Copies of this chain bind each other. A is one copy, B any other.
């Protein structure tokens, strides 16, 4: 599974960087695109986590998921401030990514509390890995911001205990949640392909310079998938 989607995504980015000259500087609209999609993804994650928290039975779990939601809103605020510092309008910068991010959530609405937990954990984890990976190709100011956002993740640890307890109580849960996690990754990839197709400057910026682009993208997605596999293992789920 993992190598298939690494290859799919690497090809998809490569298709959009083939027209790029090696000496061309990273265009600003690539950076704004990145800030725009991260900002809108954070804002949306905030709302979806709020919705998913409503599925919790205990007040303590409800509050724990709400805390993850609030952390996402903090990310949104940092990203929005950076967009404004770049003299751009946050709404305009986010707009191109509304359809893809909304489509992802529409196709991955959790049907119960456990699915909500797994989505929060997997999503938070992939987002953190992605932030860490893209930080390497950014200008110093944007890089600082992305690393700051990254340092504020890690609220998802309480999920591990909850999911493991649920699997212990009913081992059949593991199979269902493993399938769910795969579906989440699949849907995220589908929307990532769409974004890459629609926003060549973003695809180009993430690809780095032409000589190393395939290697860099490959490495980035290999790291993402290794970390994803580690998270699945932590939850007690087969990848």
A221 at the B interface (CB under 8 A) = no
Query: In whole angstroms, how far apart are the Cα atoms of A67 and B69 in the complex?
Result: 12
Q: Which residues of B contact A192 (CB under 8 A)?
A: none
Residues of chain B within 8 A (CB-CB) of A13 are none
* A127 interface residue per 8 A CB criterion: no
Do the beta carbons of A47 and B54 come within 8 Å of each other? yes
Among the stretches A19-27, A56-64, A109-117, A132-140, the one at the interface with B is: A56-64
Counting chain B CB atoms within 10 Å of each CB, the highest count among A54, A58, A63, A73 belongs to: A63
- Distance in angstroms from A88 CB to nearest chain B CB is 14
A66 and B54 contacting across the interface, CB-CB below 8 Å: no
Identical chains in the assembly: 2
Query: Is the contact region of chain A dominated by helix, strand, or loop, or is it mixed?
Result: helix
Cβ B63 vs Cβ A43 within 8 A: yes
Bound form: Cα–Cα A69–B91 in Å: 20
CA distance A46 to B69 in the complex (A): 11
| A46-B49 Cα distance, complex, nearest whole Å | 12
B40, B53, B54, B70: which contacts A70 (Cβ < 8 A)?
B70
CA A40 to CA B53, docked complex, whole Å: 15
| Any B CB within 8 A of the CB of A204 | no
Report the nearest B residue to A46, measured CB to CB: B66
Per-residue CB proximity of A67-104 to B under 8 Å, as 1/0? 10110011011001000000000110011001000000
B70 and A43 contact, CB distance less than 8 A? no
Nearest 6 A/B pairs, CB to CB: A50-B50, A59-B91, A70-B73, A70-B70, A60-B91, A66-B73
**Known A43-B63, A47-B53, A60-B91; further 11 A-B contacts with Cβ < 8 A:** A43-B59, A46-B50, A46-B66, A47-B50, A50-B69, A59-B94, A59-B95, A63-B76, A66-B76, A67-B73, A70-B70
A and B contact pairs by CB, cutoff 8 A, 7 listed: A43-B59, A46-B66, A50-B69, A60-B90, A60-B91, A63-B80, A66-B73
